Amino acid sequence: MPGVASDTAINGGALIPFSDDTDHSLPVYPLNHGLTAPISRLAISWSHGNSLRVSIFAAEPSRSSDSQSCGGKVLEVKLGGGDPEITDAYLRRIAYGSVSPFALLQSRRSEVSALLKAPSPYQLDWWEHVLEYSKEITSLLGGPKLSPCAIIEDPNEIVKKGEEPTCLKAAWELMEIFYADKQSQAWLPERLVEWLAGYDSLFTSTQETIHGKLVNFQKDLVNIQVIEDDPRYWEAMSSALSVGWLDIVVKMLRLHGSYQLDQLSNRELENGLVEAVAVLISKMPRLRPESPAGNLGECFKSKPDFTKAWERWRSQITKLDCSPFWIQCDNHQTREGLRNMLQIMLGKTENLSKATCYWLELYISHFLYIRPFTMGMESMYNLAQKCIQLKPPSSTHRLTGLMIGIIGENTEVVLAECSREFGPWMVAHAIELLTAGSEHAEILLHDENYNLGGISIVELHRLVYAQVLSSHALTWQIAPIYLTACMKQGMGLLENLLYRQPVQHNDLLLKNIEICRLYELDNISSNIMKVAGVYHWKHGHKGAGVFWLQQAQDATRLNRIAQQLFDSVGKSISDESFKQWEGVIELLGSESKPAGGLEFLHKYRDFKKSLQQVSGGKSSDAARQATVSLIMLMKNPSTPQRFWLPLLYDSLKLLNWKDGPLLNVCETNLLLNKVEELSLAKLRPDFIEPNVPGEAIRSIRLALATNLGRAILEE
């Protein structure tokens, strides 16, 4: 790399140098590893979310070196820096809180589309659903609460403290104003005045603002002896008036020294002029249905009524401006300050430009005093360009590009700004606002795009956001909501997400299976349970392995497990070996679920219990029950052949029952046939010799022959 600078991306090292010629907009992430030994190697891999895991390996110290510092360090680097105003924990809260409104809106979209028999729901008042969705999202984006106000209001408090504003919420509300809230299109400038009042402080980071000017003046207010003689007093009031903050202006006018009781009689004329301006400001006509509580101004719903009130109000201002009382006012600062405010209300461009600090404040002042009858998007973009030329920004704020894109009605720019400045969450959710009532945006964002692999822009951004959620252990559970809203590639990625989840943690496994159930992914659920069963079995959790394989109805693997169990038990099923796998048998339960070869263990458990009752001196009923269990075991094809002889040998007491034969002729012949099959099976090379005494076969044959004779005599 030419012109390598001494600065590097690693403190004190030279592994990743960068050139002075490189574009300064490229981000550089310093790694404070703290290693004193030279660095020999880096390993970089993806971590959770939008983060990289960087492993730094120090070089081996030489034998002659006294340095004991070796080894390495693992650091996590968050790309893009995230949102500096919002913590990761709060972003996760927003992510979880926005799931319900998003899912509800998608459900309503499906219902409306079904009613219209068409894919587009915008023929009806769809924007009302989108506005409700937007309000719910807005409630999630509130910044941290500031300290509560005092019980007794401070008369010198000009700027009231409330919720700490954030750029994320400001951007969302801005899009809601222009795209979702169709009712307020007639009084759009008034909505912008409200928006600026709440978020002007955010622009203080890049340029001087009216909010910053008011805050600074409020800090110095306690040290000012005669407030009306301070030029900053009139400058702050004029600035607040230029953007329509009427309540602040009137409150500051009431701080004028002429209102003090000891000076009222001597400054009656001056006080009258101040009060006249305050009354005019408080009576300013506003083209809007109603004003928020505490805000001054007279509201008018219809444009004709507003026009009449505006003309009447402007004539009163002109009349006051031409009044001879100004000549009689002795206080120069008061006279000039009040007349400057009148010129602002009369819409003088020079006064407005001087009172505002940057282009957005000047832009809104034009709507208030020069173009008060503006409705909708009438020439808003051209006016914005003019204001930017008059007051070019010293540096670009992250909200500026979004504002220009919205005013210019450029959907692509709005999407790009949302993605660049606010990340995947913003784009995935704000798209719903962009398409509210706009057929052009609907076609642009929802039509399939060949360059995107046949998916739409909407689906692309949902997939990107779902990938971000999937990469974090605390948010992957909500990714399916967004994946299922992607018709083309969502289900495939959802399958990959579910298969990637570890199965060793029971809670996580149950959550995974529940997600499969919610979206009717029975095949995936079965496969996940099979993987869980095999994992637990291989790691020694025999009971858990059998349970999950049973839930998956995997008869093939259960048969294999049965063979492994039989091999581990040995060649006999004595009382000692039975205890080794009795717990697994108990886990099988009595439900009629597929258990493969393990069904033999379940039935043998019942047989063993009956034999224990017989050995304990119980009645003949226990012996008959044990005989029934024996016949069921010998008839069942799941009973391994190598256990036939041990079963019959354990049942000698039943075959020689002194009170009478417990087996009838057919049952006795069945057992004799099994003995003959064993005799023939010994000739096969794979025959497994049972672990029973050598005389066991003769004892069994004799007992069966005796039982057969007794059964024939009884019949």
Q: What is the pLDDT of residues 49-100, one digit of tens each?
A: 667 788 888 776 544 444 444 577 887 777 655 566 778 888 889 999 999 9
Q: What is the pLDDT of residue 23?
A: 47
The answer to whether residue 408 scores a pLDDT higher than 70 is yes
Distance separating alpha carbons of residues 229 and 123, to the nearest angstrom: 60
Residue of higher predicted confidence among 145 and 400? 400
Secondary structure element (H or E) that encloses residue 506, with its range: helix 506-518
Give CA–CA dist 534/558, Å, rounded.
Answer: 10
As to burial, measured by CB atoms within 10 angstroms (0-12 exposed, 13-18 middle, 19+ buried), residue 53 is middle
Of 263-272, 458-467, 480-489, the range with the lowest mean pLDDT is 263-272
**692 against 16, higher pLDDT:** 692
The predicted structure's pLDDT at residue 152: 56
Confirm if 166 and 395 have CB atoms less than 8 A apart.
no
Please report the pLDDT score of residue 647 as a whole number: 81
pLDDT, residue 700, reads 84
| Per-residue confidence (pLDDT) for residue 39, from 0 to 100 | 76
* Percent of residues, the chain, with pLDDT higher than 90: 27
Neighbours of 604 (CB within 10 A): 22
Q: Please check the confidence at residue 273 and state whether its pLDDT lies above 60.
A: yes
Residue 122 has pLDDT above 80, yes or no: no
Spell out a b/e string for 506-525, using b for 16 or more CB atoms within 10 Å of the CB, else e. Answer: eeebeebbebbeebebeebb
Provide the pLDDT for residue 12. Answer: 43
Higher pLDDT, 509 or 693: 509
pLDDT reported for residue 154? 65
DSSP code of residue 371: -
Query: Is a pLDDT exceeding 90 seen at residue 7?
Result: no
**Average pLDDT of the segment spanning 219-223:** 84
3-class SS at 652? helix
User: Nearest 5°: CA angle at 292, between 290 and 297?
Assistant: 65
pLDDT at 340: 93
Asked whether the beta carbons of 678 and 645 are under 8 A apart, the reply is yes
Q: In 10 A of CB 111, how many CB atoms? A: 12
Say how far residue 508 (Cα) sits from the centre of its chain. 18
User: Can you read off the two tokens belonging to residue 40?
Assistant: 């020999």
pLDDT at 575 (0 to 100): 56
Instruction: Report the pLDDT value the prediction gives residue 116, as an integer from 0 to 100.
Output: 65
Of the given ranges (120-134, 269-283, 352-366), which has the lowest mean pLDDT?
120-134
pLDDT value for 245: 92
Instruction: Name the burial class of residue 429, with classes exposed (0-12), middle (13-18) and buried (19+) by CB atoms within 10 angstroms of its CB.
Output: buried
Strand partners, 45: 53
CB 276 within 8 A of CB 325: no
> Which pLDDT band, with edges at 50, 70 and 90, does 10 fall under?
very low
Residues 228-245 have a mean pLDDT of: 92
The predicted structure's pLDDT at residue 607: 80
- At 569, the pLDDT band (50, 70, 90 cuts) reads low
Band of residue 101 on the pLDDT scale cut at 50, 70, 90: very high
Provide the pLDDT for residue 100: 94
Per-residue pLDDT band for 582 (boundaries 50, 70, 90) equals: low
- In percent, the amount of the chain with pLDDT more than 70 equals 81
Query: pLDDT band at residue 671, thresholds of 50, 70 and 90?
Result: confident
Average pLDDT over residues 685-701: 75
pLDDT of residue 3: 34
**Better-predicted residue by pLDDT, 447 or 294:** 447
Average pLDDT for 567-572? 51
* Higher per-residue confidence, 145 vs 652: 652
Tell me what pLDDT residue 165 has: 87
* pLDDT confidence band for 704 (50 / 70 / 90): confident
DSSP one-letter code for 287:
E
- Give the closest residue to 510 by CA, choosing from 540, 480, 548: 548
**Which amino acid belongs to residue 526?**
S
- Give 454-463's long-range contacts (Cβ < 8 A, gap of 24+): 454/488, 455/486, 455/488, 455/489, 457/415, 457/431, 458/431, 459/486, 459/487, 459/488, 459/489, 459/490, 461/415, 461/419, 461/424, 461/427, 461/428, 461/431, 462/428, 462/486, 462/490, 463/489, 463/490, 463/493
Mean pLDDT of 660-672: 85
Q: What pLDDT, on the 0 to 100 scale, is given for residue 2?
A: 33
Picking from 111-115, 295-299, 473-477, which range would have the lowest pLDDT averaged per residue? 111-115
pLDDT band at 155 (very low <50, low <70, confident <90, very high): low
Average pLDDT of the residues in 470-486 = 90
Average pLDDT along the chain: 81
User: What's the pLDDT at 219?
Assistant: 87
